[in-house]
Each structure stands twice: as structure tokens, then as C-alpha cells.
Structure 1
């Protein structure tokens, strides 16, 4: 799979930009704040219909404008696919594939996969369980459309149930029958999510462990486990047992939306016992396993986005990544860096075609091909 070109209109700090890409390596070079990462985020929008870095789509509209548009052409198995994401202030976001609007944006997820490795990846270790659930839910959803639909339905019913619990408190009444109807709808969806997450990790963990050994050259044993109160228990019964607590707190306190993915090293939490270098190796191994599993399931390699990793990784880990590039492990690569000479030195000796772009204050120019 290739991304042939990219067009932007009033996206973040860009007025108007059009880029044509190398089929191998594309380098965005510029100072911090120049808009390099925004180009990666535009590619992320084309794949997953949302930003990798901000939760509000409206924040992607250039200041002073009232809409943005991101457009790109993918090539998959010699077939061209034009994808466009657009948003007008105060209106609903629109995603089109070959000029046809998706009825449900979820239909687009997984068609044009990307994997992003960025300095923020260690947030998966440092932050709370919500970050890890979002990451694995996104990964599994790209591989399994049924899982995505189940997740969407679960979140919809969960929102209804939480709204009802708040109404009970605000209006001082209790409709137990309606609450139990929502419970009946929630239970099979929640159980399905928990089972699919557990099943996914059984397949994913060995791939992750393989990449950790390669990227770190270390002897410690790493793994990750799925922590859920639903596995091996009756979700319906648990909802009944937590009913009084849910009413007091005005939210649903039990279910897959409270589960966690636990990152371990030699049996201990990586967050507390892993060095900074070990934590970096851990999340890079996660992303490389993400890439391998996606490539195998989708039968084509995802786009690989590398955001300022040369600034954050030591020479050993960068060398390991470049060895994988040289071995043609990846397909098309997009990377950002602040120093052209450093990028050229790291990529020196690679046989792949390389296109370099100079990025300065929202203006992008091709420097050289090589």
C-alpha cells in the first residue's frame, strides 16, 4: 500500500499544500513548530478519520478559517483510492472514498492502516488505563470490523445507562425496569469485548516479545496481560451487585470500559521498575508488533509514521530500526526530524528512494530526491 500524494487546505498551520511522495522514504525536515508533525497527523486523518494528537476535530481548523480539508490518493494492489476528510465549523465531519460519502465512518477504519511511533508513546506506560484501552481498542478495531461495531454499540448503551443514572439523582426517582433493560443490552456486548481482547493478546504477546528482544538486546522478560473483572464471571450479576454504587456515583462502575492492559517486565510494572531506556524499548516493540500483525492480517504493509524519534532514541535503538528498514521490513515510511544532516547520516547506505521536504512555517518544498 502506498500514499501517492497529499493535499491540505486550512489544516492546522497550513493554508494550502500539495505533496507528491516517494514510494519508499519521505523525510519532513524543519524546526520545532514548523508543521512537520501536522503532516503526519494529516496522513493519520486519512487512515483513521481523526487526529493522533488532539481529541477535537475543530482544533485542526487553521486559526481564522471556518473549515479544513485533507485529501490523499492511496494505491492498493494497483487500484487507486482517493480519500478526503473535511470539516466545516459547526457541522458534521465528512469522509469520502472515491467521492462517495461514508454512511458510517466506521466502515473506513482498517482499509488504509498506519502505525505511528512518536515521543508520546511512553504515555501508554505513564498514563492511566484509559490510554491503554484506547490504543488496543483502536488496534483491534482496525483488524476486526465486528469488534469495532461491538465497541460502538457498547459505548452507545453505556452512555444511555450513565445518563439514566444521572437522571435518577437529579429527579429523585428510580426506574428499575428501564435500567435492567439497558443492562440486558449491555451484558452480551461487554462480554464479547472482554473475550476478544483476551483472545487478541494471546496472539499479540509473542510477536511483541520477539520485537522487544530484537530492539533491546536485553535479558529481561517482558509481557502484557489483560486485567478484567468480566473474565470468568457473570457480568449481569456484577451489574446488579454494583447497582447501588452506580446510583450513588451516577455512572457505570463495572464493565470493559474499566479494564486495563498491564505492562510487565520481570513480573513487575514497567511504569515503576523499568528504566527510561527500557520503557522506550517496550513501547517501540509494541508498535513494531502492531505493524507486523497489521501487515499479516491486512495482506499489505501499513504506512509507518516516525515522529522526531531521532531526537529521542539512542544510537543503538535507531540502528536496530534502520536495520529493519534496510531489510525491507516496512513499506512506505514518513519521518520528521529537525536536522537534515543527521537524517542523511542515519539513512546513509539505504538502497530505497528517499524524498526530502523542507518544512517552514506551514510551507513545504522538496529539497532533494535520492
Structure 2
């Protein structure tokens, strides 16, 4: 599977651009702010129906325009598949496959998997639990559509329950019979999600540890701890015990929406006790483990997006990553960088077909 061509209209800083791509390596060179990352984000958007940079779709529309359009021609099992994503101000996002619109965007997730390694990955360590939950949810959703649908339903039920609690708070009442209706649904959905997260992490953590050891030469002891209220008590008991607190605060205080991943180095939080180099290795290992598991479960290699990472890595880590590329571990790869000379040195001796594009303020030229 690979992306054969890409077209952007009014996407971020691009008025219009059309690219014919290599099935192997595609490199985008340009100064900071030129729009290199936006090309990689367009590829990601075609895969996930969302940006990895901007959670609000309208923020991807070019300044002074009313819409954006992305078109990609994928080659999958020797068949060409046209994917189009369009967003217009005040209208519902539209995603089509061979000109037929998806009824549910969830049906598209996993069809064209992708993994991005970016400086923004540091948010997985520095930010709150929601960022780490989204990370694990996005991985599982690519190969388990039922999981994604269950997660969507859980969040809708959670919103309804919170709205009811807010009403109770304003009216200074608590109706157990009414809240039980939402509790039963939340319990069923939450237990499914918790079970699947637990099972996934059992497979994920050893693969993650393998890649960390590979790129750091087996120097550190690292681990991931799954933190969930459902490990200590069953969900029904947790909700029942939390009724008074939920009523007082006006929202649901227990459940899988409170889950977190604790990243550890030598049994201590890497956020506090890990060096910058250790944290970079940790993050890259997370993404490489994601790549391997998704690739194995879907029986196809995801597109790998390497966004401006070479100036953030030391020579040893770059060498290990390039070894994986030269061993054809990955399929199609997109790379952004500011330094042409550095990229040429990085790929010196790697005999893989590649295309190089120069990016300059919304203009892209091959070569």
C-alpha cells in the first residue's frame, strides 16, 4: 500500500499543489515555516480524517478562504483508490472513497494506516492523561473497528450522564433511577474498552521495549504501566461509590475516561527522571512499536511520516533509524527536514528509490 499522488487546495499555507510521489521515500526540504510539515499532515489527514496538528478542522483552511480540499490516489493490492477529504465553513466534513461518501468516518479508519514521528510527540510525556489515552485509542482503532465504535458510544453516554448530573446539581436533587439508566450503559461499554486496552498493552509493551533497546543499545530499564481505576474495583462498584461526589461536582469522576499510561525509566517517571536523549528514544520506540503491531495485525505496512526529527536526534539514533529503513522494515516513508546536506548524508549508501521536493512558502518543486 502506498500513496501515489497528492493534491492540496487551500490547505493551511497551500493555495494549490499537486505531487506525484515515490512508493518508497519522499523527502521535503525547506526552511522552518515553509510548509513541509503541512504536506505530511495532509497525508495523515487522508488516513485519519483529521490533522495531527490541529484538532479543529477549520483551522486547516487557508487564511481568507472558506474551504480546503485534499485528494489522494492510493495503490492498495494493485488497485487505485481515490480518497477525498473536504471541509467547508459551516458544513459537515465530507470524506469520499472513489467518489462515494462514507456514511460513518469510522469506516475509513484503518483502511490506509499511518504512523507519524514528530517533535510534537513530546506531548505524550509532558501533557496530561488525555493525550496518552488518545495515543493508545488511535492505535487500537486502526485494526479494531468495534473498539472505535464502542469508544464513540461510551463518550456519548458519558456526555449524557454528565449533562444529567449538571441538571441534578442545578436543581439540588439526585434521582438514582435516572442515573442508573446511564450507569448500565457506561459499565457495559467501559468494561469492553478496558479489556481491549489491557490486552493490547500486553502485546505492545514487549515490542516497545525491543525498539527502545535497539536504538539505545540496551542501556536502560524502561516500562509502561497501565493506570486504571477498573484494575482495583469493578466499574459498577466504582460508579455506585462515586454517586455522591458526581452529584456534588456535576460530572463523572470514575471510568475508563480517567485511564492513563505511566512511562517509566528505572521504575521512575521518565518525565521527571529521564534525560532529553532518553525521552527521545522512548518516544521513537513508542511509534516504532505502533508501526510493527499495526503492520502485523492489518497485514500491510503503514505509511511512515518522519517530521523534522533529524536535527532532534544524535548520530547514533539516526544511524539506528536509517538501518531500519535500509532493511526495508518500512513501506512508504515521508520525511521533512531543513538541511539538504544533512539529508543527503543520512541517505548516503542507502539504495532505495526516493524523490526530493523543495518547499518554499506554499510552493513545492521536485528536485
- TM-score by length of structure 2 reads 0.98
What's the CA shift for 1:366?
0.4
What's the CA shift string for 1:263-295, capped at 9, x where partnerless? 111211111111110010001001001001111
2:156 maps to 156
1:92 maps to 92
What's the CA shift for 1:223?
1.3
**2-side partners of 1:263 and 1:68: how far apart?**
38
User: Aligned pair 1:256/2:256, yes or no?
Assistant: yes
User: Aligned pair 1:47/2:41, yes or no?
Assistant: no
What's the CA shift for 1:176?
2.5
For 1:230, what is the secondary structure of its paired residue?
Answer: helix
2:219 maps to 219
1:187 maps to 187
For 2:323, what is the secondary structure of its paired residue?
Answer: helix
Instruction: Point out where structure 2 has 5 or more consecutive residues left out of the alignment.
Output: none
**1-side partners of 2:245 and 2:217: how far apart?**
48
**2-side partners of 1:72 and 1:16: how far apart?**
14
Give matches, 1:127-206, under 5 Å. Answer: 127-206=127-206
**2-side partners of 1:252 and 1:174: how far apart?**
14
Larger CA deviation: 106-115 vs 229-238 = 229-238
1:83 maps to 83
1:20 maps to 20
What's the CA shift for 1:232?
5.1
**2-side partners of 1:82 and 1:284: how far apart?**
31
1:337 maps to 337
What's the CA shift for 1:175?
3.0
Larger CA deviation: 55-64 vs 266-275 = 266-275
**2-side partners of 1:28 and 1:66: how far apart?**
27
What's the CA shift string for 1:297-329, capped at 9, x where partnerless? 111110000000111111110010001111111
2:107 maps to 107
**1-side partners of 2:302 and 2:233: how far apart?**
37
- Native 8 Å contact 1:201 1:225 kept in 2: no
**2-side partners of 1:236 and 1:119: how far apart?**
40
- Native 8 Å contact 1:67 1:87 kept in 2: yes
For 2:229, what is the secondary structure of its paired residue?
Answer: coil
**2-side partners of 1:146 and 1:104: how far apart?**
13
What's the CA shift string for 1:216-249, capped at 9, x where partnerless? 1133211112111112522112111101111111
2:59 maps to 59
User: Aligned pair 1:355/2:364, yes or no?
Assistant: no
2:274 maps to 274
- Native 8 Å contact 2:28 2:337 kept in 1: yes
**2-side partners of 1:175 and 1:364: how far apart?**
61
For 1:231, what is the secondary structure of its paired residue?
Answer: helix
What's the CA shift for 1:201?
0.6
For 1:111, what is the secondary structure of its paired residue?
Answer: coil
**1-side partners of 2:166 and 2:45: how far apart?**
34
**2-side partners of 1:238 and 1:350: how far apart?**
55
- Native 8 Å contact 2:228 2:259 kept in 1: yes
Give matches, 1:291-330, under 5 Å. Answer: 291-330=291-330
- Native 8 Å contact 2:169 2:249 kept in 1: no
What's the CA shift for 1:356?
0.6
What's the CA shift for 1:252?
0.5
2:244 maps to 244
What's the CA shift for 1:35?
0.5
**2-side partners of 1:60 and 1:122: how far apart?**
22
**2-side partners of 1:221 and 1:173: how far apart?**
51
Larger CA deviation: 42-51 vs 169-178 = 169-178
